[in-house]
Amino acid sequence: MSTVTATTRAELLRLRRWPTLWVLAGVWTTLQVTFSFAFPYLAYRSGDPDAFQGGPSEQLLASMLPKAVPQILIAGTPVFGGAIVLILGALAAGSGYGWGTWKTVFTQGPGRGSALAGTVVSLALAVAALVAWTLCLDLGLSTVVAVSESRDVVLPGLAETARAAGGTALVMGMWTAAGLFLGTLTRGPALSVGLGLVWTLVVENLLRGAANLLDRLATLTDWLPGSAAGSLAGALGADAEGSDATPGVLTILSGQTAALTTAAYLVAFVVAAVVLVRRRDLT
């Protein structure tokens, strides 16, 4: 058994029994159900076009049907889903410093890089499972909506769905890696979660606002992690503007550029975390 396989087995055992993981998955599921289906459906049933985001009823219904699942899947990831998995990554890495478990793990002999690799692979598997679960959930709920409204169940194209799932995994993976990096950098859960949330929910938006006043700043904000993630969501069909617009969805970068930038951030965050773990003293 390779060292990384052993460390991944160890991390998977502790992650799957970690209540935090299930609480965060539950929060994400609740957000998906509430904002992608429950509220829009209630608004649609109320017959008031201004009841939810002000869109026409038919457009509102179409956004909940199976054909729209790829867009539903990725729309919430740049901000809300990203924030949730950022917390997951930050806690997965940062809590180990507070509990002293990194110290115990590192003295078991797998090597620091291999130990962190186990965490990275386990988190990647957790994110992949979360995306798969969300896809199933969205398909199920959208089918229920279609059937209950006597509409044909028209499934989205396989390629389109795969692209959306891949993009969702990439965005979620990037934010998880960002959390992992912050948890490692700050050597604790609280500060890393706080910094991560302030960045994703506040700072990037403020910078983009300021960039409207300063052109030079725009060249920077266009390449921020949130900009790349939002642009990827926009390129994969999530609405960036109009009545169905989802917070965080952007059209700044092209789809390919956004995907490459998001992937680059993912790799950079992981590499930075590994470098920090390997080089720093554990006191």
Partner 1 sequence: MNGMTETVVSTDRISKRYGDRTAVDGVTLAVRRGEVYGFLGPNGAGKTTTLRMVLGLVRPTSGSASVLGAAPGSPAALRRTGALVEGPGFYPYLSGRTNLRIMARYRGLPDRAADGALARVDLADRGGDRFRGYSLGMKQRLGVAAALLGSPDLLVLDEPTNGLDPAGMAAMRRLVVDLAAGGQTVLLSSHLLAEVQQICDRVGVIAGGRLIHEGTVDQMRGGAVLRVRGEPASETARVLARATGATPEPALDEDGNPVFDVPAAGLEVPEVTRALVTAGVDVHAVAVRERALEDAFLTMTGVAS
Stretch that binds partner 1, among 44-52, 97-105, 218-226, 232-240 (CB under 8 A): 97-105
The contact pattern for partner 1, residues 1-30, with x = CB under 8 A and - = no contact, is x-x--xx-xx--xx--xxx-----------
90 counts as binding partner 1 under rule CB under 8 A: no
Shortest distance (Å) from residue 104 CB to partner 1: 4
Map residue 45 onto helix, strand or coil.
Answer: helix
Among 109, 158, 159, 215, binds partner 1 (CB under 8 A): 109
In order of 48, 211, 216, 262, the CA distances from 202 in angstroms are 32, 14, 20, 19
CA distance 174 to 102: 23
Among 152, 215, 216, 283, binds partner 1 (CB under 8 A): 283
Q: Which of residues 113-152 bind partner 1 (CB under 8 A)?
A: 114-115, 118
Among 28, 102, 181, 199, binds partner 1 (CB under 8 A): 102
Q: Please, which residue, 1 or 213, has the CB nearer to partner 1?
A: 1
CA distance 102 to 11: 12
Residues 6 or more apart whose CB falls under 8 angstroms from that of 253 comprise 222, 223, 227, 228, 231, 232, 235, 261
Q: Please, which residue, 107 or 150, has the CB nearer to partner 1?
A: 107
105 counts as binding partner 1 under rule CB under 8 A: yes
CA distance 231 to 252: 6
CA distance 10 to 106: 13
Residue 158's Cβ-count burial label (10 Å; 0-12, 13-18, 19+) is exposed
Q: What single DSSP character describes residue 283? A: -
Shortest distance (Å) from residue 151 CB to partner 1: 45
Shortest distance (Å) from residue 269 CB to partner 1: 23
Among 48, 99, 140, 267, binds partner 1 (CB under 8 A): 99
Cβ–Cβ < 8 Å for 121, 8 = yes
184 counts as binding partner 1 under rule CB under 8 A: no
Number of chain positions touching partner 1 (CB under 8 A): 30
183 counts as binding partner 1 under rule CB under 8 A: no
CA distance 80 to 31: 8
Q: Which of 255, 51, 108, 90 is nearest to 180 (CA)?
A: 90
Shortest distance (Å) from residue 1 CB to partner 1: 6
Query: What residues make contact with partner 1 under the rule CB under 8 A?
Result: 1, 3, 6-7, 9-10, 13-14, 17-19, 99-111, 114-115, 118, 281-283
